Structure 1
Amino acid sequence: MQTPSSTISHLIAAGFHALSDPLRINVLELLRQQELCVCDLCDALGVNQSKLSFHLKTLKEAGLVNSRQEGRWIYYSLNMPQFSVLEQYLADYRQQGVIPPVRSCCD
């Protein structure tokens, strides 16, 4: 049986894992603009559906995207509450002074 804290830990780990692949980052960037169907994502990214399906499954399991079926197409959109969980996780470290402030190369 998973405890609430282990469930949150799993979601955080899955979220950061999902963010570790450039193709998945590109998917998220496209979904930042609007909800898209698999066919539109394939066209925009220049990948076949089987490859993209693997990456979409990873994003969905991490809770970063939502999906809905309309007819024969599946549409994907961002799941912003999960991004907030990851953001809060990092913010907690910043508040504790563990993460140094970001500085540009010209500071």
Structure 2
Amino acid sequence: MSKSDLTLTPVQTVACCSPLVAEPLSEEHARRVAPLLKALADPVRLRLLSLVASHTDGEACVCDLNDAFELSQPTISHHLKVLHEVGLLDRSKRGVWVYYAVRRDALADLGALIGGVA
């Protein structure tokens, strides 16, 4: 299977009830969470998510993010698309620009899942 054959399935917000240390994840829950964690496992995507989340009003245009990386605009757009497709970012088009905003509910769910470690 080539990279071009791979497609990401959009993941809805993961309703986390308890942290990993409270009870084992069900197989289905693990299947829903894994794509989110996989998307965040890339350093560029993790930084992009952080940059968008910390940007003024929690929203950023692709043009606002390019200078933070030594990558081409199409590469940045690809990484943003991956984050959008797994449900970590929302996007809206305004004219020729695309703006991204972090889905706080998805981040809260991931935080709840990982949290609770003492």
Farther off after superposition, 67-76 or 49-58: 49-58
Q: Distance in 2 between matches of 1:11 and 1:83?
A: 14
* From 36, 54, 69, the counterpart of 2:93: 69
2:36 maps to: 15
Alpha-carbon distance, 1:40 to partner: 1.5
2:73 maps to: 49
Letter in 1 for 2:105: P
Does 2:105 align with 1:81?
yes
Look up the SS of the partner of 2:105 in the other structure: helix
Look up the SS of the partner of 2:87 in the other structure: coil
Q: TM-score, normalization: structure 2?
A: 0.66
* Structure possessing the higher relative contact order (Cα contacts under 8 Å, 6 or more residues apart): 2
Q: Distance in 1 between matches of 2:107 and 2:114?
A: 11
Alpha-carbon distance, 1:52 to partner: 1.1
CA contact (8 A) 1:11 1:63 kept: no
Identity of aligned residues (%): 35
Q: Indicate the structure (1 or 2) with the bigger Cα radius of gyration.
A: 1
Q: Distance in 2 between matches of 1:45 and 1:66?
A: 21
Structure 1 unaligned spans of 5+ = 102-107
Q: TM-score, normalization: structure 1?
A: 0.71
Alpha-carbon distance, 1:46 to partner: 2.8
2:50 maps to: 29
Q: Distance in 1 between matches of 2:70 and 2:64?
A: 10
CA contact (8 A) 1:14 1:61 kept: no
- In the alignment of these two chains, the number of paired residues is 90
Structure showing the higher helix proportion among its residues = 1
Look up the SS of the partner of 1:75 in the other structure: strand
Alpha-carbon distance, 1:9 to partner: 4.2
